[in-house]
Amino acid sequence: MVPLAQTDLVGLYAVNSSTMLGVSKFGFTSLTIVKSIVSRKMPMIYYCVDNLAQSEVGMKRTVYFAEGVLQSLIGIGAVISGALLIIRPDGHYLQIPLDMLKNSPFRNFLIPGVILFLVIGVGNIISAVLSFRIQRIAGFAGLFFGFGLVIWLFVQINLVGGGHWLQYLYFALSIIQLLLGIAMRELERKS
């Protein structure tokens, strides 16, 4: 642990050299500089964050857990919605009118329901299990299914229209899923 009084860059580097990410030829990273600034301005926050960040294992677990929770939420919602569209392809259970599909190649919601159930739902649930188990492939799965959700949303908006608040919410969640997937891949690459 870095003492609160020790905030110079050399001291931070010397104490934290084992946890540095991408050390430059001078031995400093943007993380070191940010930690130095934060430690001077907000010592209590620095103290709490530094204890977590010093342990790469703790950081890795946090990122993987966050991705797993996000994938679980997305997956469960997609499985339920997809199942309801498969059971009742006219959209009755989700109160979606069939006339939304008038500009699409589909006559009912069966095919979109199957895709939603299998790809977005089951795929994200499997990916969540990989994330919770901190499997090496979890980062790739997070990227793959996050990108899959982005594609799903773009196709959906182009075929049936956009503007519903859930589309914006799931788009934001897919971007977070992609960013966490990138972080997971970086953590795996560095370990």
Take residue 130 and report the two structure tokens written for it.
């990989």
Question: Coil, strand or helix: which one is 4?
Answer: coil
Q: Which amino acid is at 56?
A: E
Question: 159 and 69 in one domain?
Answer: yes
Do residues 96 and 109 lie in contact, with contact meaning Cβ atoms separated by under 8 Å?
yes
Do residues 163 and 177 lie in contact, with contact meaning Cβ atoms separated by under 8 Å?
no
Tell me, yes or no, if the pTM score tops 0.75: no
- Classify the C-alpha dihedral 63-68-69-75 as positive or negative: positive
Do residues 142 and 67 lie in contact, with contact meaning Cβ atoms separated by under 8 Å?
yes
Question: 48 and 60 in one domain?
Answer: no
Question: 165 and 85 in one domain?
Answer: yes
CA-CA distances (angstroms) from residue 121 to 2, 48, 116, 145? 44, 36, 6, 10
What number of other Cβ atoms are within 10 A of residue 99's Cβ? 9
For residue 16, what are the domain limits? 9-53
Question: 134 and 107 in one domain?
Answer: yes
In a domain, 3, yes or no: no
In a domain, 99, yes or no: yes
In a domain, 168, yes or no: yes
Domain count, the chain: 2
Question: 73 and 23 in one domain?
Answer: no
Over its length of 191 residues, how does the chain's per-residue pLDDT go in tens digits? Answer: 444 343 333 333 333 333 334 444 444 444 454 455 545 555 554 454 455 555 677 889 999 999 999 999 999 999 999 999 999 999 999 999 999 998 899 999 999 999 999 999 999 999 999 999 999 999 999 999 999 999 999 999 998 888 889 999 999 999 999 999 999 999 888 87
Do residues 41 and 30 lie in contact, with contact meaning Cβ atoms separated by under 8 Å?
no
